[in-house]
DNA sequence: TCCTAATTAGGAATTATTACTATTTAAGAT
DNA sequence: ATCTTAAATAGTAATAATTCCTAATTAGGA
């Protein structure tokens, strides 16, 4: 997806198109399958735009997540990671040794008996598998 | 399970049976299906034993989790909750409005094609569904 | 009873995130 | 093209959860 696709989504929601917001989206579009913390997003942007505030990064990551443009991930350490909703819905294998992650195209919701979520309005879900990756096993 | 069951597990692992450790386990055995933060465990114990250190709670929750006696849960806010491995393995529905949780007896691993975890040694996993519970929907 | 490695209490430090506020700005109205 | 203003930002302070540090205590084996 080109950046304009996301900018149009922002316009449709009636939020302002600021240079800061565009930079944040660009960071995520720079490479595929990127899982970035707020700190890391900030670090990447300040290389070119040193005045970008960390608070602005947090505020926008949160907003982009609420709009469905980003997904927030929790890999067990206590900092959120974000990825852009650019490719197919997926989940992750996370190595507890090196911290690296691989994506798996399996979603529990496809196998969940709807009886389990009777009277519950599902908004989102998380599923991650933790263990030792091939590299760390030698 | 009586408390002795867990104390024997600690002995088998060669760790000391301190009063503090026993109090922590007792807190979790006081009621079923309890999901407690470190702070909450500490609060409950200091009613009777005011000298219990918060650091000791953290240190032991972490240790008990490594020994497989407790499970650590992350419900999206950034504080860990713990529950004792007393009943059947399960996952949770978490209400994003009231913060409450219900347990569901469905585990994604039972449906996961092992092809997805080839060359990956699984240690643990997380699966939670977030949404609005029956109460909060009116 | 003695010894010692393990554990603890209490407080300081760290880390991630959120709150605050004066200033700036995007974008619609004139 | 300028004006207007609600939304957004920068910079910094505050908060919350967790971890680290160190001197003192203690469980359990000798
Ligand atoms: Mn991913
Ligand atoms: Mn539970
Ligand atoms: Zn899914
Ligand atoms: Zn499971």
Check whether residue B32 and residue B64 sit in a common domain.
yes
Q: Is B90 annotated as a binding residue?
A: no
Query: CA neighbours within 13 Å on the CB side: how many for B118?
Result: 3
State the pTM of this model: 0.93
Check whether residue B36 and residue B59 sit in a common domain.
yes
CATH number at residue B73: 1.10.10.10
Query: For residue B109, what is the nearest residue in chain A, using CA coordinates?
Result: A108
A74-77, long-range: CB < 8 A, 24+ apart: A74/A126, A74/A128, A74/B74, A74/B76, A75/A35, A75/A99, A75/A101, A75/A128, A76/A128, A76/A130, A76/B74, A76/B126
State the pLDDT at residue B106: 97
Question: Which residues in chain B show pLDDT less than 50?
Answer: none
Mean pLDDT of A39-59: 96
Q: How many domains would you assign to chain A? A: 2
Check whether residue B10 and residue B77 sit in a common domain.
yes
Q: Is A107 annotated as a binding residue?
A: no
Nearest CB neighbour to B106, from listed A116, A119, A121 = A116
Residue among A63, A43, A117 nearest B106 (CA): A117
State the pLDDT at residue A71: 96
Check whether residue A78 and residue A95 sit in a common domain.
no
Name the nucleotide nearest A78; use CA and C1': C16
Check whether residue A12 and residue A69 sit in a common domain.
yes
Q: How confident is the model at residue A138 (pLDDT cuts 50, 70, 90)?
A: confident
Residue finishing a domain among B84, B112, B127: B84
State the pLDDT at residue B68: 95
Check whether residue A75 and residue A107 sit in a common domain.
no
pLDDT of A32 higher than 80: no
Tens digits of residue pLDDT in B37-50 = 999 999 999 999 99
Check whether residue B101 and residue B67 sit in a common domain.
no
Check whether residue A80 and residue A96 sit in a common domain.
no
Check whether residue A73 and residue A35 sit in a common domain.
yes
Check whether residue A58 and residue A76 sit in a common domain.
yes
Residue finishing a domain among B43, B65, B84: B84
Nearest CB neighbour to A117, from listed B80, B117, B129 = B129
Q: Do B120 and A131 touch (CB under 8 A)?
A: yes
pLDDT of A33 higher than 80: no
Taking the CA of residue A133 and the nearest CA in chain B, the distance in Å comes to 5
| Residue A21 domain boundaries | 3-84
User: Are B91 and B33 a contacting pair, CB within 8 Å?
Assistant: no
How big is chain B, counted in residues? 138
Taking the CA of residue A4 and the nearest CA in chain B, the distance in Å comes to 30
Q: Which ligand is nearest to the CA of B92?
A: 2
CATH number at residue B95: 3.30.1490.190
Q: What rounded mean pLDDT belongs to chain A?
A: 95
State the pLDDT at residue B38: 97
Check whether residue B54 and residue B78 sit in a common domain.
yes
Provide, in whole angstroms, the distance separating residue B1's CA from nucleotide D29's C1'.
29
Q: Do B116 and A106 touch (CB under 8 A)?
A: yes
């Amino acid at each position: 997806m080109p950046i304009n696709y996301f900018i149009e989504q922002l316009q449709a929601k009636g939020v302002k198109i600021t240079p800061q917001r565009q930079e944040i989206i660009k960071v995520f579009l720079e490479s595929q399958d990127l899982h970035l913390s707020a700190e890391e997003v900030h670090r990447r942007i300040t290389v070119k735009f040193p005045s970008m505030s960390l608070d602005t990064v947090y505020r926008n990551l949160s907003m982009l997540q609420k709009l469905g443009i980003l997904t927030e991930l929790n890999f067990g350490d206590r900092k959120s990671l974000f990825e852009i909703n650019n490719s197919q819905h997926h989940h992750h294998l996370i190595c507890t040794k090196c911290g690296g992650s691989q994506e798996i195209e399996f979603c529990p919701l496809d196998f969940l008996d709807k009886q389990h979520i009777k009277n519950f309005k599902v908004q989102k879900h998380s599923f991650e598998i933790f263990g030792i990756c091939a590299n760390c096993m030698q």
